[in-house]
Amino acid sequence: MSEENKNLNTISEDTANADSNAVAETADKKEDTKAKKNKKNKSEKGRFKKFMKSRKAKHGTVAMAITALVIVMVIIVNIIVGLLVNRFPDLELDLTSNKSFALQDDTIDYVSHLDKDVTVNILMAKESFESQGTYFVQAQKMLNKMASKSDGKMKIKYVDLTSNPSFTSDYPNVDWQSSSANNIVLVESGKQYKVLTLTDCFEYDEKTYNYYGSYSFTGTKIEQAVVTAILNVTTDDKVVVDMIKGNNEQDSSSLKTLLENNAYQVNEVSLATGDFDSNAKIAIMYAPSVDLDEKIVEKLSTWLSNDGKYGRCSYCRYGRDAEP
């Protein structure tokens, strides 16, 4: 073998030996790294087990478990209370400082002695009514409590007039067309019914309304409004009042509303073209500003005498500048 070939073989052997050594070193490093990792993992596991056995860990674990349990219990209790309140409104606690959701004793006494079925129709979808604000939610809770005290005589219904437009056809004496009507509640019993407007049921800032044309509600008076409406629709023999018109009288709308709210049946009559209601017991002329025609005076006198039976009365309020 030539000297050149010997040198080549020597170089090859050296290279092979170097590669083997490099591989061996790499393997040794990997083994060392793996061993260190295993040792570290064992050490960490050991520390974790030691921590879990410690009093601190036990107390912390117990605290976490108790916290989780309390959260679950609160959620369950809220669900149960919500279901019970929906079924039994009296279970709901009124925690407000002024007892905003509490009913007056007179209201409780009145609805608990109802002898006729009454339906309170809220003229809006339930979700829409609740979304109107705090005073609407307050009103809703008060109505639910009234119903719960009525021994099943009073029921609450929500009527979305948009999806149920035919509902209005059963109540021809209600103004459904005027944009200023703002009908919000309709109370009915048998064939009698009475509609309540927003201003009947809620207090509002008049200055804001006059300036902006929108309502800024400041309170609810739905309890009184609904009780008055129930009284109105459950009274069969109402006292009939004729309000005489056609003599330039002053505005008597407030008096008319007051009478109607107290279960009087109020009619408006013109003695110049018509006559008294045959069932009328009271006649009112509210501050006429002109002298009465002789025919009107004669009709009034004949009506008062009632063919000698009497039993009728009239009331005339004179204006500030009118002479008696």
Which of these, 144, 140, 88, 152, lies nearest to 116 by C-alpha position?
152
Domain final residue, candidates 187, 219, 234: 234
Q: Are residues 110 and 229 in the same domain?
A: yes
Mean pLDDT value of segment 256-267: 87
Look at residue 154 and tell me if it is in a domain: yes
123, with CB counted inside 10 A (0-12, 13-18, 19+), is buried
Domain final residue, candidates 201, 219, 234: 234
Tokens representing 179? 């944009």
pLDDT at 317: 75
b/e map 233-267, b = 16+ CB within 10 Å = bbbeebebbbbbbbbebeebeebbeebbbebbbbb
pLDDT tier at 237, thresholds 50, 70, 90: confident
Secondary element (H or E) of residue 136: helix 134-148
The domain in which residue 29 lies consists of 3-84
d(CA 244, CA 288): 9
Cβ neighbours of residue 205 under 8 Å, at least 6 residues apart?
216, 217, 218
pLDDT at 98: 46
Q: Are residues 121 and 216 in the same domain?
A: yes
pLDDT at 55: 55
Q: Are residues 230 and 246 in the same domain?
A: no
Domain final residue, candidates 177, 207, 234: 234
Look at residue 41 and tell me if it is in a domain: yes
pLDDT tier at 253, thresholds 50, 70, 90: confident
The percentage of the chain sitting over the pLDDT mark of 70, rounded to a whole number, equals 66
Q: Are residues 176 and 142 in the same domain?
A: yes
Look at residue 246 and tell me if it is in a domain: yes
E-only strand ranges, 82-166: 118-122, 154-158
pLDDT at 198: 92
As beta bridge partners, residue 154 has 118
Highest mean pLDDT among 59-63, 177-181, 215-219: 215-219
Q: Are residues 126 and 172 in the same domain?
A: yes
Look at residue 165 and tell me if it is in a domain: yes
For the chain, the domain total comes to 3
Q: Are residues 109 and 229 in the same domain?
A: yes
Window from 164-168, 265-269, 314-318 with minimum mean pLDDT = 314-318
pLDDT at 116: 96
Better-scored residue on pLDDT, 73 or 312: 312
E-only strand ranges, 49-199: 118-122, 154-158, 183-189, 192-197
Better-scored residue on pLDDT, 312 or 84: 312
pLDDT at 93: 40
Which of these, 119, 116, 122, lies nearest to 193 by C-alpha position?
119
Q: At residue 153, does pLDDT exceed 60?
A: yes
Q: Are residues 165 and 117 in the same domain?
A: yes
pLDDT at 157: 97
Compute the Cα dihedral for 78, 83, 84, 85 and give only its sign: positive
Better-scored residue on pLDDT, 56 or 138: 138
Look at residue 90 and tell me if it is in a domain: no
Q: Are residues 244 and 226 in the same domain?
A: no
Q: Are residues 112 and 10 in the same domain?
A: no
Angle at 290 between CA 287 and CA 295, to 5 degrees: 105
Q: Are residues 64 and 176 in the same domain?
A: no
Report residue 14: phi and psi, to 5°: -65, -40
